[in-house]
Amino acid sequence: MDQTQSGRSAEDRHVPVLLDTSVQLLAPALQEPGAIHLDATVGMGGHASAVLRAAPGARLVGIDRDPQALVLARERLDRDGVGERATLVHATYDQIPEVLADLGLPGAHGVMMDLGLSSFQIDTTDRGFSYAVDAPLDMRMDPSSDGPTAADLLRDLPEAEIARILRDLGDERFAKRIARRLVEQRQEAPLTRSGQLVELLERAIPAASKASGGHPAKRTFQALRIAVNEELEILASAVESALDCLHLDGRIVVESYHSGEDRLVKTAFTRRTRSSAPPGFPVELEEHKPTFSPLVRGALQADDAERATNSRAASVRLRALTRTRPDQGAH
């Protein structure tokens, strides 16, 4: 069932992770009238609405690659009374420079990136994201794109590449074994539905390992979703663009849910918060000073209370920076 027509509001479908923390970190940079808040993964608008209410003079540029999510975000922002301050754009978040340029904006004062899959996408049963419901093996966050589906990847990729995807993007211990079974299966008939994939995984993964670690299909479905949507490739570019677009004293908050995502964010953030002076250089020149400073120590995690009430909070890692010095990428 198309969730945009199911009668359930965005608030019912998706509880934003670390919402209060995100708002507290971003709001100080958005208090001037006309300040620009860029939510690069606006989803159903939960974080964006809360930020706009905490920064009544700010304007929102909300980006999402999922057109159905943008419909829900618009409904929510209008319902919360902040819709007139919101511009929503259908794009991937590595297109931040183009989106800002198209709107005639030189940069942003706040940036939010809430990565991974939303509850709405999991609940939209005909998209194939969930291993709990039988559906076509699609997994594209933007169903209107002409990119390959999960079924296409499983049909066309070599066995070694399937194994690499499952291992690197899903931390799947039995990646080689599963890849072999998938290739054997497609010689008879390629998999086209999520239910078929779940059945294959049930057979491929040893019974002893199913007793712990959650559903045996969880890691494979995560890996395929990341591969189908090229999430890590897009993220690597998007984080750099997000940092570059921030004005002086601007702030960025990124929430990651997968070790590969968090590694990319941590690497980019570390590079911007370290001096670029050569090792052993006697004096740190102005151009060598870091351009950003951390707002939190390391990565924040959700507390036990939030984990108990919101399943998405279990794996979240939040990192945040503020721009302390302009650089060549800044405006």
DSSP string of 119-160, one letter each residue: HHHHH-GGGS--TTS--BS---SSTTS-S--HHHHHHHS-HH
Mean pLDDT for 257-264 is: 92
121 marked ligand binding residue = yes
Determine the pLDDT at residue 138.
93
> What pLDDT digit, counting tens, does each position of 12-26 carry?
556 799 999 999 999
Determine the pLDDT at residue 247.
98
The CATH number that domain 3-120+231-323 falls under is: 3.40.50.150
In 3D space, the residue among 95, 96, 104, 101 whose CA is nearest the CA of residue 34 turns out to be 104
Determine the pLDDT at residue 212.
63
HSE at residue 288, side-chain half, CA atoms within 13 A, is: 11
Determine the pLDDT at residue 81.
97
Determine the pLDDT at residue 14.
62
Determine the pLDDT at residue 175.
97
Determine the pLDDT at residue 43.
92
168 marked ligand binding residue = no
Determine the pLDDT at residue 119.
58
250 marked ligand binding residue = no
Say yes or no to pLDDT of 204 above 70. Answer: yes
329 marked ligand binding residue = no
Domains 3-120+231-323 and 154-228 share a fold: no
Distance, first Cα to last Cα, the chain: 45
142 marked ligand binding residue = no
User: Domains of the chain: which residue ranges?
Assistant: 3-120+231-323, 154-228
In 3D space, the residue among 269, 262, 322 whose CA is nearest the CA of residue 295 turns out to be 322
154-228 CATH choice from 1.10.3720.10, 1.10.150.170, 3.40.630.10, 3.30.930.10: 1.10.150.170
* DSSP-derived 3-state class of residue 251: strand
Say yes or no to pLDDT of 215 above 90. Answer: no
pTM reported for the whole predicted model: 0.88
Mean pLDDT for 212-224 is: 84
Cα distances from 184 to residues 13, 45, 120, 131, 310, in angstroms, run 38, 43, 34, 21, 39
Confidence of residue 143 (pLDDT cuts 50, 70, 90): confident
Report the mean per-residue pLDDT for the chain. 89
